């Protein structure tokens, strides 16, 4: 099956309805100061920018980019951008591939491939809660140092 903008890796078409529900869900969180559902620069995604008040001064941007497919495959990419030009990234994925099992995690600091095989809950809300909890722990660690 050839790649298309909605089907980059054989995952099937983007689930636009679910992306809209995810965006609405994220707007209820104080973590984010800007949430865009399928913006022109990422029409297959929800992009959620964190409120930088949660981060130390050297962080210039922190965001989630979420893609969800009708096959229930997904990609949730987290990135922190720093004044130095460096970044810290990780990614939670469920999709067919040749580098890991269908469910896997690309660990920080650079979301290397291959990643670590993983098991995720079946419900999108539970997956999102798991991701946000891990990221909350990351953010709390800035202030524990």
14 burial (CB, 10 Å; 0-12 / 13-18 / 19+) is: buried
Query: At residue 4, does pLDDT exceed 60?
Result: no
Token pair of 30 as six digits: 């104080």
Q: What is the DSSP string of 110-139?
A: BT-SS-EE----SSHHHHHHHHHHHHHHHH
99-144: per-residue pLDDT in tens?
A: 899 999 999 999 999 999 999 999 999 999 999 999 999 999 998 8
Q: First-to-last CA distance in the chain?
A: 48
Give residue 98's pLDDT band: very low, low, confident or very high (50, 70, 90): confident
What pLDDT score does 72 carry?
93
Number of Cα atoms under 13 Å in the Cβ half of residue 65: 14
Query: At residue 9, does pLDDT exceed 90?
Result: no
Query: At residue 11, does pLDDT exceed 80?
Result: no
Helix (H) or strand (E) holding 143: helix 124-144
**CA 13 – CA 16 distance, rounded (Å):** 9
How confident is the prediction for the chain on average, in pLDDT? 91
39-90: per-residue pLDDT in tens?
A: 999 999 999 999 999 999 999 999 999 999 999 999 999 999 999 999 999 9
Using left for φ > 0, alpha for ψ between -120 and 50, and beta otherwise, residue 120 falls in beta
């Amino acid at each position: 099956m050839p790649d298309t903008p909605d089907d980059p890796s054989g995952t099937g078409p983007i689930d636009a309805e679910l992306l809209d529900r995810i965006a609405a869900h994220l707007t209820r969180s104080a973590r984010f100061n800007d949430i865009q559902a399928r913006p022109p620069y990422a029409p297959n995604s929800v992009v959620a920018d964190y409120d930088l008040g949660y981060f130390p001064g050297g962080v210039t941007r922190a965001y989630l980019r979420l893609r969800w497919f009708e096959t229930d495959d997904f990609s949730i990419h987290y990135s922190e951008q720093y004044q130095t030009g460096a970044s810290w990234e990780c990614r939670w994925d469920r999709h067919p591939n040749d580098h890991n099992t269908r469910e896997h995690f690309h660990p920080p600091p650079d979301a290397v491939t291959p990643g670590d095989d993983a098991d995720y809950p079946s419900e999108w809300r539970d997956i999102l809660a798991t991701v946000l909890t891990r990221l909350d722990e990351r953010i709390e660690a800035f202030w524990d140092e």
